Chains A and B, each alone.
Chain A
């Protein structure tokens, strides 16, 4: 198969897809870093609450932290699947 005649599988198309994948990965990374910073803040807040503050917020922070982890894990899985899909498409084009 001549990949240069197929739309989306040309050298230019491949470069565009790779660039898009890279940008998506960077966006994912920025969101992940933000979520981790938020989780760190939650952890410190929970510790302060345990020692001195209203203890009932500890459960709430745990739930929110768990939701953040679900988001992080979701982003990680979509990233991994995206890379696999991209590799698969590239191999198919070749």
Chain B
């Protein structure tokens, strides 16, 4: 007897739709792997959040000159490390503000929007139409409304240079 279980396929080379069906058993195997993947993903997030908790010392970073932005303009820079994007805004009142560019909802990049006839100036997230107060970074609409505000970066102006010096302490959710 031939032990090759697929011999019949060569003897009778006829395809059938049912050949492409996934069996319940295979689907259960797949779901087990998916479940393991979720655990690994969760563990990775926990590990990275523990790592970021330990890195609390931020160095100063020169962002740009004070005359680089006009009122209602903004730019993207990286702070506190080269891979973390942040935004520097010169709001319509002429004040400099800087925030982390990661939306607190699902980390999509946020962007500054000037005031229009429909709404005042704000920071917006395009992914889920989240909006933030431009002065405080507090969520005002969409999913970020229920979450923590954007991380605000402390700024210092020395000899016409805007310098990022660290993050402002955020209020807790329950405060």
| A and B co-occur in one complex | yes
Interface residues of A (CB under 8 A from B): 22, 25-26, 28-29, 32-33, 35-36, 39-40, 42-44, 46-48, 50-55, 58-59, 61-62, 65-66, 68-69, 72-73, 75-76, 79-80, 83
CA distance in complex: A29, B104 (Å): 35
Q: Are B102 and A51 in contact (CB under 8 A)?
A: yes
Main secondary structure of the interface of B (DSSP, over half): helix
Q: Which residues of A contact B173 (CB under 8 A)?
A: 53-54
User: Scoring B residues 4 to 32 as 1 if CB is less than 8 Å from chain A, else 0, what string do you get?
Assistant: 00000000000000000000110111011
Taking residues whose C-beta sits less than 8 angstroms from the other chain, chain B's interface range is 20 to 34
Which residues on the A side are within 8 Å of B144 (C-beta)?
A: 52
Question: Given the complex of chains A and B, what is the CA–CA distance between A1 and B18 in angstroms?
Answer: 35
Residues in chain B within 8 A of chain A (CB atoms): 24-25, 27-29, 31-32, 34-36, 38-39, 41-43, 45-46, 48-49, 53, 102-107, 144, 147-148, 172-173
CB–CB B31/A32 < 8 A: yes
19 chain-A/chain-B pairs, Cβ below 8 angstroms: A25-B28, A33-B31, A39-B38, A42-B42, A43-B42, A43-B45, A44-B106, A48-B106, A51-B102, A54-B173, A58-B49, A59-B46, A65-B38, A65-B39, A68-B35, A73-B32, A79-B25, A79-B28, A80-B25
CB-based contact A62/B46 at 8 Å: yes
